[in-house]
Amino acid sequence: MKQLILLVLLLGTSNMANAACSELYNHQLITLQGQKINLCDYQDKPILVVNTASKCGFTPQFDALEGMYSKYKDKGLLVIGFPSNDFKQEPGNNKQIGDFCKLTYSVNFPMMTKSSVTGPNANLFYKQLNAKTGQAPKWNFYKYVILPKAEVYAFSSSVTPNSAEILEKILPTLK
């Protein structure tokens, strides 16, 4: 009986923790290296989300993304990349993508496993971003800024990560 009560208490605590996490953040993401990121841990922090591809004209934006992450991660910014072949410019597998990002652009911000970000096969997190903004990525390096309390803004591929438009959203929310 004591074990049953303990189990009920543990399950109740787990469900309460998940209930406190809004739907947009209620995701366990897996990086290219197999590490888990619980987005619920970032509800009160700004997040810069970008779909990436290694064979795209916008690929040099990795430098600015890494610069943003390096400069602001200790102040609360999470930058996360989602490699995708939706636009036929990411032919590699997870290991090849990870090697390319690390060796070519010294990427240290979390890169998730390769997935779809548009259409019916989009991963659930991107489906939610697309629904919240009414805008699915139109190309690689499309960006979303998620502010605390799930306020979401979408930015086209041509808007650089360190642009005034993005910085004016993120900077006021940093610690």
Residues marked active site are found at 56
What residues form DSSP beta bridges with 28? 38
CB 46 within 8 A of CB 78: yes
Treating both helix axes as pointing N-terminal to C-terminal, what angle do 94-105 and 61-72 enclose, rounded to 10 degrees? 80
CB 142 within 8 A of CB 61: no
Token duo for residue 18: 């998940």
CB 127 within 8 A of CB 115: no
Closest CA to 141 of 167, 160, 123: 160
